[in-house]
A and B are shown apart, each in its own frame.
Chain A
Amino acid sequence: MIRLEKRPQPSRAWSYATPVLAVVITMIAGGILFAFLGKDPFLAIKTIFYDPLLGEFAWYYRGQLLVKAGPLILIAIGLSLGFRAGIWNIGAEGQYIMGAIFGAAVGLAFYPMEARWLIFPLMVIAGALGGFLWAMIPAILKTRFNTNEILVSLLLVYVAEQFLASMALGALRNPEGSGFPGSRNLQQYPAAANTELIAGTGMHWGVVAAFIAVIAAYVLLKRHMLGYQIRLTGESPRAARFAGVRPNLLIIFCMGISGALAGLAGLFEVAGPAGQISIDFNSGYGFTAIIVAFLGRLHPVGILLAGLLLALTYIGGEAAQANLGLPAAAIQAFQGMLLFFLLAVDVLTNYRIRLRRTEAA
């Protein structure tokens, strides 16, 4: 019988190896899934993971990589701080939407003024603020009334989606859009557009913000007292209180940061790749970022890599959809599987597997 035996301390080697192992297992299981769908598994895996990077049309896909990875990384960095402290903000999708609405509303309010130096920074601030305020609802309910932040933050996603619909149909609707739902296209409004900074790379301000967030989070966790307090709270809440950590402040901080970063991601998306507030503006980045955060082992550098990988599955998935007729849902299931396998192999970090005789315990 197989028995688990707790290691005296977490294995460093395995903590690096498990995400890689999980990706490999997921590719195998994914291949089997694709085979069941009647597709050539090797071709499918190649189309998803190889072609966008090194294939014939890689010049087109590579730019897309950063466009997709930017918001994923930005949101996941924020989430990872909370997850490390045992504060579960899983409503990033809602904060992402609210950031986009706030930012877009500020930009559209100035239309058609041309002062980009004023308008764009204001939009960025408004975007962060929108996400921050939306995250403050679960945070304050948690600290004030001890309400479960997981449920509240998640339920607020549905509220935000309804709010998005009402904005797209009402207050923010393009007055010149002949009655179609959706706002003016911010891409066509130079003072507010989040444009590509280096042509063909997909690099825009949101990607820059994501890189800054990675570095800042790295320094915070490695060198700063606050980062230490976050890690300590996650490891052992009671020891953290003994060390003088004020749990409520930490909840406000972690929820606030993750909300603000998700809001920023929403703003950069609406002002850039998406272009406008529309009913189906959000595309699940807030949830995929949860996978990114865990796959990156809640470590900033890991999240950077995981964000790029998940972005690849999005792009490769689109390619597979176009070329092989692989349904979009298959990619969604594939991403979910990845998180499952990661959680499964994670046991190796803290436990050793032993083959032993049957035991009563």
Chain B
Amino acid sequence: MAETLLSIEGLRKAYPGVVANDDVSFSIAPGEVHALLGENGAGKSTLVKMIYGLVRPDSGRMLMKGQPYEPATPHAARAAGVAMVFQHFSLFEALNVAENVALGMEDPPKQRELAARIREVSETYGLPLDPGRLVGDLSAGERQRVEIIRCLLQDPKLLIMDEPTSVLTPQEVDILFETLRKLQAEGTSILYISHKLEEIRTLCDGATILRLGKVVGTCDPKESSAREMAEMMVGQTLHTPSREEKPLGDVVLDLTALSLRSANPFGTSLKEIDLQVHAGEVLGIGGVAGNGQDELLAALSGEALSPAEAVKLNGQPVGQLGPNARRRLGLLAAPEERLGHAAAPDMSLTENALLTGAIREELVSNGFLKWPAAKSFAEKIIERFDVRTPGPANAARSLSGGNLQKFVVGREILQRPICLVVNQPTWGVDASAAAAIRQALLDLAAEGAALVVISQDLDELMEISDRFAALNEGRLSPTRPAKGLTVDEIGLMMGGAHDMEVAHVDA
């Protein structure tokens, strides 16, 4: 029997109304790269939070090298040699790299010494980084490097990585994998959390698959096919959207040299964007998060104004029009952030239906609201898009992510847009809801609407786009037909391993 570093036995964690983990057991050997595979909501995050001391299990136990391991806090977990690279929420934008690293260490050396060590370790592992820069000014890939280096400086025995590649271009993923293999060769174990099957097949030695909080299987990813793993993960065969080829219609949305300064001091400004979208077409826009996606959506929805001629709808300049004037003309949008942007969390679904539907659904007369009409519009969305909720009087925040996403996308689709812009339509949504949303988008295009789908999920974009372009530091690549694009080509459109250059300049 191979020795084990960490073994997990029968862990259970319940939240009110949900059992996040139930009787989860697996083990990791020293130097093993172990994958934790599962859909959104399968319980991966809760499990790693327990290993990292952020959440206490209700029952079950963990053993580290045969000794009981019960971290009460992340400090205890770090002291035991466990380090974690987070998907979100662990960097401070207004602090510099060295300060960020220091915050994640138990007893950091003096700033100057630390800066020297950051340079040294980052060179060793091929992750160049300048310790004096503000994290807010770094790209997503560079930020991840900060997190990784923060972990490496503590010589961890176990490194947990939560969806590390979601913020990287394909070329950057290659660099990351090289770093991870180097670590593995030095004997560090890695717990790798992902739902991307191909990555896991290239990188991992073992895999545990979670579904609805339970372990539904283990496998050797190098031996199993992606299809086998996918079926274990999802538990059903998926309905893949399909669309028929048809000739392009007229140009509906036309962007000419659209430049826009970001409202957020750490945001990305849009630079000289040119783009045409035709009737009946789905244009996919890829790119790593934080390269101008939010800003592009704001420029199209009317939340950010631009010179009138920079944005044209059916030849009519709309750059100076606000959101409601654009809605009146048929240009609708669904932003990425469901709670707090696309919908108001504490307001009812009826009130949220009114949020964008007031104009096109004629829910207002002389400034007075027609509540019955708003309610029936909300009911229509709920019914047509199979939104699971007791009724339209429920607050938006009471819905699950997938159901709320169906609601906010459905709300726009039912208003018969001429052009619809969506950002991350299926982010954090379970597979069946995601499939339904994609199909609804394709149906809308089939009826002749022009669609712009902004997403970080390349598989999704390849599945539904007619043409493809990528955002990189606020610039849009030239548009190319989606059919026949290779991963390498897409990666180059997204900017390749562009962060490397930045690092060289600074070094």
Contacts and interface: CB of A to CB of B under 8 A. Distances in A.
A contacts B directly in the complex (CB < 8 Å)? yes
Interface string A220-263: 00011110100110011011111110100000000000000000
B346 A232 contact: no
A177 interface: no
B54 A360 contact: yes
Contact of A9 (B16, B323, B371, B395): B395
Contacts of A225: 358, 364, 367-369
Contacts of B354: 228
A243 B395 contact: no
B367 A224 contact: yes
A199 to B, nearest CB: 39
B16 A5 contact: yes
Interface string A350-361: 000000000111
Contacts of B61: none
A10 interface: yes
A182 B127 CA distance: 76
A234 to B, nearest CB: 9
A241 B364 CA distance: 18
A150 to B, nearest CB: 22
Nearest to B323: A244
Given A235-B344, A242-B341, A8 B55 contact: no
B345 interface: yes
B368 A223 contact: yes
Most chain A beta carbons < 10 A, residue from B16, B337, B342, B344? B344
Nearest to A236: B344
A239 B340 contact: yes
B146 to A, nearest CB: 25
B367 A239 contact: no
Contacts of A238: 337, 340-341
Nearest to A243: B355
A242 B303 contact: yes
Contact of A239 (B325, B341, B397): B341
Nearest to B302: A244
A231 B355 CA distance: 11
Given A226-B367, A236-B345, A238-B341, A360 B395 contact: no
Interface string B366-404: 011101000000000000000000000011011000000
Nearest to A358: B56
Interface in A8-52: 8-10
Contacts of A10: 346, 395
B355 A9 contact: no
Interface residues of A, number: 24
Interface string B110-129: 00000000000000000000
A345 B435 CA distance: 44
A226 B355 CA distance: 12
Contacts of A240: 344
Given A232-B344, A239-B342, A224 B398 contact: no
B395 A246 contact: no
Given A8-B395, A10-B346, A360-B54, A243 B356 contact: yes
Contact of B55 (A5, A232, A243, A360): A360
Nearest to A5: B16
B303 A228 contact: no
A231 to B, nearest CB: 7
Interface in A247-282: none
Contacts of B104: none
Contacts of A359: 55-56
Nearest to B16: A5
B335 interface: yes
B324 A244 contact: yes
B322 interface: yes
Interface string A85-124: 0000000000000000000000000000000000000000
Contact of B398 (A8, A232, A239): A8
B72 interface: yes
B343 interface: yes
Given A239-B340, A242-B341, A244-B302, A9 B394 contact: yes
B286 interface: no
Interface in B122-158: none
Contacts of A226: 367
B343 A239 contact: yes
Contacts of B394: 9
B73 interface: yes
Contacts of B54: 360-361
B31 interface: no
A239 B56 contact: no
B301 interface: yes
Nearest to A10: B346
Interface in B302-357: 302-303, 322-325, 327, 333, 335, 337, 340-347, 351, 354-356
Contacts of B325: 244
B150 to A, nearest CB: 21
Interface in B7-52: 16
Contacts of A231: 347
B342 A242 contact: yes
Nearest to B321: A244
Contacts of B340: 236, 238-239
A360 B72 contact: yes
A295 B470 CA distance: 52
B322 A242 contact: no
B20 to A, nearest CB: 13
A347 to B, nearest CB: 15
Interface in A122-151: none
B387 to A, nearest CB: 15
Contacts of B16: 5
A228 B72 CA distance: 46
B333 to A, nearest CB: 8
A242 B368 contact: no
Contacts of A232: 344, 347, 351, 355
A232 B341 CA distance: 11
B53 interface: yes
Nearest to A240: B344
A246 B324 CA distance: 11
A216 to B, nearest CB: 13
Interface in A174-227: 223-226
B119 to A, nearest CB: 35
B395 A239 contact: no
Contacts of B347: 231-232, 235
A105 B337 CA distance: 53
Contacts of A244: 302, 322-325, 327
A235 B355 CA distance: 12
A112 B426 CA distance: 74
Contact of B369 (A5, A224, A236): A224
Interface string B49-81: 000011110000000000000001100000000
A77 B16 CA distance: 39
Nearest to A219: B368
Nearest to A241: B303
A147 B222 CA distance: 60
A9 B404 CA distance: 14
A2 B325 CA distance: 50
Given A8-B397, A242-B335, A360-B53, 6 more contacts: A228-B354, A228-B369, A235-B344, A242-B323, A243-B355, A244-B302
Interface of B: 16, 53-56, 72-73, 301-303, 322-325, 327, 333, 335, 337, 340-347, 351, 354-356, 358, 364, 367-369, 371, 394-395, 397-398
Interface of A: 5, 8-10, 223-226, 228, 231-232, 235-236, 238-244, 246, 359-361
Ranked nearest first, the 6 interchain pairs of A and B with the lowest CB-CB distance are: A9-B395, A244-B324, A8-B398, A244-B323, A236-B344, A235-B344
11 contacts: A5-B16, A9-B397, A225-B358, A232-B344, A232-B355, A236-B340, A242-B355, A243-B323, A244-B323, A360-B73, A361-B54
